[in-house]
């Protein structure tokens, strides 16, 4: 186990670090350099111990740590008390194969967690040779569970606390943010604000909220037909009913399709349905559903 940790001066000037409140900066620094860390960036994090050493209340430390993980794209397995710093190898890359093998011995102290698999695939900042060493050793270590680990895991399964794992883990929320910003035809976001995070927690408790399937339908035809017009926003996407509306085809129409009205006063959708066409102005309720209640409203003189 190393006796010191690296903290580069550029840490304090990083845009994401600057977004954190002072407590967040303290927690981030602790997670990178504290006595619970190891040489691989995947380790057991005791919230109680960390809170005491940071001079914070345990519940407050846990909340701030969630925010830090969301901001820096780290991951936590709260049920097993594991923290995974995805960028660890970027700043703490082993110098050679021997150093890598020594560092990976720390993995034996980490209880079984779904984060082990992600750790084994986290090789983007390693040389090809060190990546091979990581994959080889992880294949053995990640499938080896000692009796002590089995006993500890059984105890943790029985330990029902307010910090149990939920589907709205920081890693999943980060995935949603990355997927949204990589989606065509949307207005990108700078970060997941506390309000957005709270709303996402609510949405993710619903097993039917299939955000991946909804994003797969982008760019939505009704907006793509007017590239200079309004673009879907993240806050609109996570509103009640938006994802269901997308999946049910509510936005599967184009401006051109609405204009293609035949002499009989009907138009044919791309799905082959012939529907009556009755031109009229959109109601306030329809505009709210389409553009959101925060849209700019026109006022009659």
pLDDT number for residue 226: 55
pLDDT number for residue 142: 54
Q: Is the pLDDT of residue 169 over 70?
A: no
DSSP 39-108: SSSEEE--HHHHHHHHT--HHHHHHHHHHHHHHHT-EEETTTTEEE-TTHHHHS--SSHHHHHHHHGGGG
Coil vs helix vs strand at 274: strand
pLDDT number for residue 161: 38
- Tell me how many helices (H) and strands (E) the chain has: 17, 5
Interatomic CA distance for residues 256 and 234, integer angstroms: 26
Give the model's confidence band at 31: pLDDT under 50 very low, under 70 low, under 90 confident, else very high.
very high
Which is more confident, 53 or 291?
53
Give the model's confidence band at 165: pLDDT under 50 very low, under 70 low, under 90 confident, else very high.
very low
Interatomic CA distance for residues 27 and 25, integer angstroms: 6
Give the model's confidence band at 249: pLDDT under 50 very low, under 70 low, under 90 confident, else very high.
confident
pLDDT number for residue 160: 35
Q: Is the pLDDT of residue 210 over 70?
A: yes
For the stretch 86-95, pLDDT in tens is 999 999 999 9
């Amino acid at each position: 186990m190393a006796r010191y940790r690296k903290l580069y001066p550029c840490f304090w000037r990083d845009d994401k670090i600057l977004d954190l409140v002072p407590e967040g900066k303290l927690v981030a620094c602790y997670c990178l350099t504290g006595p619970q860390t190891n040489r691989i960036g995947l380790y057991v994090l005791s919230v109680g111990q960390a809170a005491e050493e940071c001079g914070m209340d345990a519940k407050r430390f846990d909340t701030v740590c969630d925010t830090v993980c969301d901001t820096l794209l780290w991951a936590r397995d709260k049920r097993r008390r594991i923290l995974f710093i995805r960028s660890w190898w970027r700043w703490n890359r082993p110098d050679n194969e021997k150093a890598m093998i020594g560092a990976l011995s720390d993995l034996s102290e980490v209880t079984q967690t779904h984060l082990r698999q992600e750790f084994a695939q986290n090789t983007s900042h390693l040389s090809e040779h060190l990546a091979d060493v990581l994959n080889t050793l992880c294949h053995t270590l990640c499938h080896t569970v000692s009796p002590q680990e089995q006993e500890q895991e059984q105890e943790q399964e029985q330990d029902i606390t307010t910090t149990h794992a939920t589907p709205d883990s920081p890693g999943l929320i980060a995935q949603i943010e990355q997927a949204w910003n990589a989606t065509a035809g949307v207005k990108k976001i700078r970060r997941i604000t506390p309000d957005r995070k709270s709303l996402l927690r609510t949405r993710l408790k619903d097993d039917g909220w299939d955000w991946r399937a909804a994003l797969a339908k982008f760019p939505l035809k009704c907006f793509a037909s007017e590239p200079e017009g309004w673009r879907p926003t993240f806050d609109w996407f996570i509103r009640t009913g938006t994802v269901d509306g997308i999946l049910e085809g509510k936005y599967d129409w184009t401006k051109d399709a609405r204009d293609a009205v035949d002499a009989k006063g009907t138009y044919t959708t791309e799905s082959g349905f012939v529907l009556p066409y009755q031109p009229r102005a959109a109601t306030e309720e329809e505009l709210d559903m389409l553009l959101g209640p925060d849209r700019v409203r026109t006022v009659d003189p």
